[in-house]
Amino acid sequence: MVVYVDVDDTLVRWVGTKRIPIPRVVGRVRQLHAEGATLYLWSTGGAEYAQSVANDLGIKDCFIGFLPKPTLIIDDQAVQDWNNCQHERPI
């Protein structure tokens, strides 16, 4: 299983200038990693930001890569038509 995880409002929330982890999602990341999933963390804030958040949360080693979130996907299928692609809401 290959999993892409978003940062803001998925892995963490912001209250003013305070970043608050979402424990359910952090736990899910750890669970998926333990089950052998290949995990990537991405964010519109960029790859370095995503890696920094993962490091701060102590889950950096769960991910094999950190990416900026795409603004364009070129594919013969729309994302919603991808076979076996599931969407899991953070809350």
Instruction: Check whether 81 has a pLDDT greater than 90.
Output: no
Report the candidate in 91, 79, 73 with the shortest Cα–Cα distance to residue 24: 91
Task: Enumerate the domain spans of the chain.
Answer: 2-81
Cα 45 from Cα 59, distance rounded (Å):
18
Determine contact, residues 9/90, Cβ cutoff 8 Å: yes
pTM of the model: 0.90
42 confidence band (pLDDT: 50, 70, 90): very high
43 confidence band (pLDDT: 50, 70, 90): very high
CATH topology of domain 2-81: Rossmann fold (3.40.50)
pLDDT of residue 87: 86
Instruction: Check whether 91 has a pLDDT greater than 80.
Output: no
